[in-house]
Chain A
Amino acid sequence: MGSVLTVRDINVYYGAIHAIKGISFDVNKGEIVTLIGANGAGKSTTLHTVSGLLRSRTGDIEFLGSSIARTPAHKIVSKGISHVPEGRRIFQGMTVEENLQMGAFVAKPERIAHNLEYVYEQFPRLKERTKQIAGTLSGGEQQMLAMGRALMSDPRLLMLDEPSMGLAPILVDQIFEIIQNLHKAGTTILLVEQNAQMALSVADRAYVIETGRITLSGTGEELARSDEVRKAYLGG
C-alpha cells in the first residue's frame, strides 16, 4: 500500500527548547498508526508540525507524494489532513450541527450533506443532539463532536490527539470502537495516545516517543508484547 504521510528527520524548537530531535515515521494508506509516549514526550508537537502550526528546521514532510513542510496551516486541511487537537476544541456556542458544518468549511459544498450523513452514521449520539448547544455536551460527546467535525472535510488522513483523555473507561471503549469503525471504513488514522494499552490494541503499527526521539517501533502487537513497553507504559 502507498504511503500517505512520510515524516523525515524533523527537528522542532520552542525558542531554545529542542522538543523534537530528528523524528521519522510514515503512515500507509488505510492504517492506524499510533504514537505513544509519556507526558511531554513530543507527541502533540509532532502533530502540530504535520498540520503546519509549527515548522521543522530540518527534514521534510510528504503527504500523498508532495512536500507540505512549507504549506501554511490553513491550506493543510484542504489538502486532506484533519487534525483533532488535544482537549476537545469545539465551538461551544454553536449547535452540534453548526459545529459539523463549520468542519466542512474547506470541503466541496456538494459533499457536505453526504459527509454529514456519514458522521451521524458513525456517531449516533451526535444525531440525537443536532440542535443541542455544543458547550452543554458531556466530555465524551464533545470528543465525538470534535472527531466528527474533522471528518466533515473529507480527510485522507485523520490525526487524533489523545481522544481518550479524561474520559471514563466505558467512554474510552466507545471512542476506540468508533476509531476502529472509521478504520474499517477505510480512513487512514494517525493516533496519539497516553493510553498505550488501548492504542496498541487497535494500531497496525506503533512508535514510542521519548523526549523528542523515537525509541521503538513495530506492529501494535509486537510493541504490546515488548518488555520495554510493558514496563514503561503498560504497568509491568
Chain B
Amino acid sequence: MADRLFKSINARGLRGAVKGSEYKKEALISYGILVIGYILLQLGAMTGLIGHNLQGQFVPICVYISLAISLNLVVGISGELSLGHAGFMAVGAFTGIVITRVLENSIEFGPLRLIIAILAAAVMAAIAGFIIGIPILGLRGDYLAIVTLAFGEIVRNIMNVLYFGLDNNGHLKFAFNHTIEGIDTSQRVITGAIGATGVTKLATFTGAAILTAFTLFVVLNLKNSKQGRAIMAIRDNRIAGESIGLDVKKYKLMAFVVSASLAGMAGCMFGQNYSTLAPVKFNFNTSVLILVFVVLGGIGNIWGGMIAAALLTVLPEALRQFADYRMLTYAVVLILVMIGTYNPAIRARITAFVNKIKPKKKDKGKEKTGKEAA
C-alpha cells in the first residue's frame, strides 16, 4: 500500500530536486517561510497581539516544523514509510535532559550547555537510527512501517523503566526498573514513567528557530547533492538504481540516519522547553502526528510540511475560544489544507496567481509557465 501511495507522488518530488532552478525555488520558499514566520511571531509577541498561551507554543512550533522536515527526508525523499519518528525524538530529548543536568555546575552558560546537549542528542539518535536501520532497510514497504512503529514503542517503554539521578558528588547514576537508593528527590533527573523532572529550561524561540533553519539547511542540501539524487533515484525505481551502480542499502541508510539524527536534535530542543517531561509524550500518536504534517504538506514537499506543522500545532491553541466548535474547525481546516495541496486545479490556480504577482522576468518567465501548463 505504501508503495502505491508513493508512486503517485514521486514524479513531482524528483523533478523538483534534479533541476537546479527548482531547487532554488524550493529553498527560497522554505527559508522565506521560516524567516517571515519568525519575524511575524516576534512582532506579535512584542506588541502583545499574540497572547501568552500562544507564545508558549513558539518552541513546539519550531520543533514540529523541524520534525516534519526531517521525516520528509525518509518519507518523501527516500520513499520509506516510517512510524517511529517520536522514538528518535525521545532519544534526543532524554539524552539532552541528562547532559544539561550533568553539566549544570561545570558550564554556567546556558546556550553552550544547550548546544552540547543538542550535539549529544544528534549522536545518540543517529546511533539508534543506525542500529535499527541496518537490519530493516533490506525490508520493503509496509514491513519498514511496522518495525519503525515497534521501535518507537520500545524506546518509550525503555524510558518508562529508566531512572537517572545525581549522587552527593554530582555523579550520574542510573538504574533499571527501580528508583536509585540514596538519592535525594531533588537530584532525580529521570524517574521512569514520570519522566524528567526539575529541568532547567534552556529552549528559546530564537534557539529553536535556528535549529529549524539548520534542519532545513541539512535536508535541502542533501536533497540537492549527488547523494540526494541517488536516494531519489532509488525511490523512483530501485532496480534501475541498482543497475546504474547505486549502493541501495547505503543510500537508504544515509537518509534514515540523517533523519533520525535531526529528529533527535529537535527532540532535545523540545525536552528543554518543559520543566517536566513524561515518556508518554513520545507515543505512537506523536509519530502519526508528524506523519500527518508530511502527508498534508504533500509528501516530498518540504515547505508544505512546514506550513502544515505550524498550522496544526497552533490551531488547537488558537481555536480555544471557539470551545465547542474547536474539533469541528480543526477537521475542516485539515480538509481544506488537503484539498489545497492535492487538488491540481487549485494548485494550478495558486501557481498562476504566484506567477502573476511575481516581478516579470520577460520572456524567460513566460516560457517557463507555458511549459508547466503544457
- Residues of A whose CB lies within 8 Å of any CB of B are 51, 53, 72-78, 82-85, 89-95, 98, 102-103, 105-106, 133, 135, 146, 149-150, 153
A53 proximity list for chain B (CB < 8 A): 242
Query: Which residue in chain B gives the minimum CB-CB distance to A86?
Result: B239
A133 proximity list for chain B (CB < 8 A): 11, 15
A-contacting 9-mer, from B92-100, B111-119, B243-251, B341-349 = B243-251
Q: Give chain B nearest CB distance to A30 CB in angstroms.
A: 23
Expressed in whole angstroms, the Cα–Cα distance for A181 and B145 within the complex equals 47
A82 proximity list for chain B (CB < 8 A): 243
Q: How large is the interface on B (under 10, 10 to 19, 20 to 34, 35 or more residues)?
A: 20 to 34
Expressed in whole angstroms, the Cα–Cα distance for A72 and B242 within the complex equals 11
Q: Give chain B nearest CB distance to A96 CB in angstroms.
A: 12
Interfacial residues of chain B within 8-51, with CB under 8 A of chain A in the complex: 10-15, 18
Is B236 part of the binding interface, using a Cβ–Cβ cutoff of 8 Å?
yes
A98-B18, A102-B233, A105-B230 known; A92 vs B243 contact (CB < 8 Å): no
A74-B247, A102-B244 known; A89 vs B233 contact (CB < 8 Å): no
Say whether B11 contacts A92, CB under 8 Å. yes
Q: Give chain A nearest CB distance to B137 CB in angstroms.
A: 14
Could you pull out 10 A-B pairs where Cβ atoms are within 8 angstroms? A72-B247, A74-B246, A74-B250, A89-B239, A89-B240, A93-B14, A98-B18, A102-B244, A105-B246, A149-B244
Expressed in whole angstroms, the Cα–Cα distance for A90 and B240 within the complex equals 6
Majority DSSP secondary structure for residues of A touching B: mixed
Expressed in whole angstroms, the Cα–Cα distance for A89 and B236 within the complex equals 10
Q: Give chain A nearest CB distance to B5 CB in angstroms.
A: 15
Expressed in whole angstroms, the Cα–Cα distance for A94 and B244 within the complex equals 15
Q: In the complex, given contacts A82-B243, A93-B14, what are 20 additional A-B residue pairs having Cβ atoms less than 8 angstroms apart?
A: A51-B243, A53-B242, A72-B247, A74-B242, A74-B247, A74-B248, A75-B245, A76-B245, A77-B243, A78-B245, A85-B239, A85-B243, A91-B236, A93-B13, A94-B14, A94-B233, A94-B236, A95-B15, A103-B244, A150-B243
Expressed in whole angstroms, the Cα–Cα distance for A204 and B229 within the complex equals 39
Majority DSSP secondary structure for residues of B touching A: helix
Is B237 part of the binding interface, using a Cβ–Cβ cutoff of 8 Å?
yes
Expressed in whole angstroms, the Cα–Cα distance for A85 and B239 within the complex equals 8
Query: Which residue in chain B gives the minimum CB-CB distance to A83?
Result: B243
B12 proximity list for chain A (CB < 8 A): 93
Which residue of A53, A76, A83, A91 has the most chain B CB atoms within 10 A of its CB atom? A91
Query: Which residue in chain A gives the minimum CB-CB distance to B9?
Result: A93
B247 proximity list for chain A (CB < 8 A): 72, 74
Q: Which 9 A-B residue pairings sit nearest by Cβ, starting from the closest?
A: A77-B245, A93-B11, A93-B14, A89-B240, A74-B247, A106-B245, A91-B236, A89-B239, A98-B18
B237 proximity list for chain A (CB < 8 A): 89-92
